[in-house]
Amino acid sequence: MTEVIDGEAVAADVRAGVADCVDTLADAGVTPGLATVLMSDDPASETYVSMKQRDCEEVGIEGIHVDVDADASAATLFETIDELNGRDDVHGVLVQLPVPAHVDRREVLRRIDPEKDVDGFHPENVGRLVAGDARYKPCTPHGVQKLLAAYDVETDGADAVVIGRSDIVGKPMANLLVQKGPGGNATTTVCHSHTSDLESKLADADIVVAAAGIPEFVDGSMITSGATVIDVGINRVDADTDRGYELVGDVAYDSVADVAGAITPVPGGVGPMTRAMLLYNTVKAAGRQHDVDVDLP
């Protein structure tokens, strides 16, 4: 029987643990605060930010939101970030990506105080992750690591293949899997758009993390029997629904479920974990900034 990895349930456990951390912080007189900054008119980005704000409210994190006009100058965005960096009631600062083309994304990431960089994208935090001394692990790969642990999927000594090498998913995912220590110690292969013969790389994989952004890219014929398949992809495809589209992953679910030992669904797999790990990083940040020990889930 293929095990369906329930991201909603694991994320609910993480949120409950985060709520306990919020109580610990409250006992020390601290209310954790997450600031989101949106410089975009993209409806999807607006939805992501409002979901993050709702998630905060649910666990007792103070949500602060700032809209920056999509036509404003980069300097205006940087001033907003500087102001949030300086606020004592703001422990995490997140700029929703993508930013408009006239703004240098890398400069934005560098501008955020690394102690408040709860996305984990600042070069200092990327460096610490690679060095095996992570401050804030990026939310999506960290969520995947938590899912694997929750379902007792052994990474130690496993052959893992990550499909995708983006800065937010593929690269940090590979870094986490390859690190020495719990949730790591996997022999990790990173595949990308220039990989030749992806099938041969997948043939022996015990763990596959699919993050290519291509609908139903991985099918059952590419997976070895009993493998754990984690589907990070969220792709909109046209469909005869009220919304005119449906969300599908990077994995052809039915065909892979016939072969895999365990699989994450889309939706209900990695997505809820990404959201929960942002809350985790925010209470971690508040604890660090006020020298309060929080018992992270």
Q: Catalytic amino acids?
A: 52, 96, 119
DSSP secondary structure letters along 127-170: HHHHTT--SS--HHHHHHHHHHHHTT---TT-EEEEE---TTTH
As measured in angstroms, the least distance from the Cβ of 199 to ligand NAD is: 11
Residue 5 contacts residue 151 (beta carbons within 8 Å): yes
The smaller minimum CB distance to ligand NAD, of residues 7 and 287, is found at: 7
Strand-pair partners of 187: 159
Q: For the chain, give the number of residues.
A: 297
From residue 222, alpha-carbon distances to 68, 122, 144, 255 in Å are: 45, 35, 21, 10
The smaller minimum CB distance to ligand NAD, of residues 64 and 139, is found at: 139
| Distance of alpha carbon 82 from alpha carbon 93, whole angstroms | 10
Torsion of CA 117, 123, 127, 130, to 10 degrees: 80
Question: Which among 23, 6, 47, 49 is positioned nearest to 278, based on CA atoms?
Answer: 49
The smaller minimum CB distance to ligand NAD, of residues 126 and 294, is found at: 126
| Distance of alpha carbon 247 from alpha carbon 267, whole angstroms | 7
As measured in angstroms, the least distance from the Cβ of 185 to ligand NAD is: 23
| Distance of alpha carbon 203 from alpha carbon 142, whole angstroms | 25
As measured in angstroms, the least distance from the Cβ of 111 to ligand NAD is: 21
Print burial letters for 286-296: b (CB count within 10 Å at least 16), e (below 16).
Answer: bbebeebebee
Cis peptide before 138 (omega within 30 of 0): no
Contacts with ligand NAD, residue ranges (CB under 6 A): 140, 163-166, 168-170, 191-193, 195, 198, 211-214, 232-235, 270-271, 274
As measured in angstroms, the least distance from the Cβ of 201 to ligand NAD is: 9
The smaller minimum CB distance to ligand NAD, of residues 92 and 265, is found at: 265
As measured in angstroms, the least distance from the Cβ of 270 to ligand NAD is: 4
Question: Which among 120, 113, 71 is positioned nearest to 88, based on CA atoms?
Answer: 113
Residue whose CB is nearest to ligand NAD in the complex, by number: 166
As measured in angstroms, the least distance from the Cβ of 277 to ligand NAD is: 9
The smaller minimum CB distance to ligand NAD, of residues 149 and 214, is found at: 214
The smaller minimum CB distance to ligand NAD, of residues 24 and 235, is found at: 235
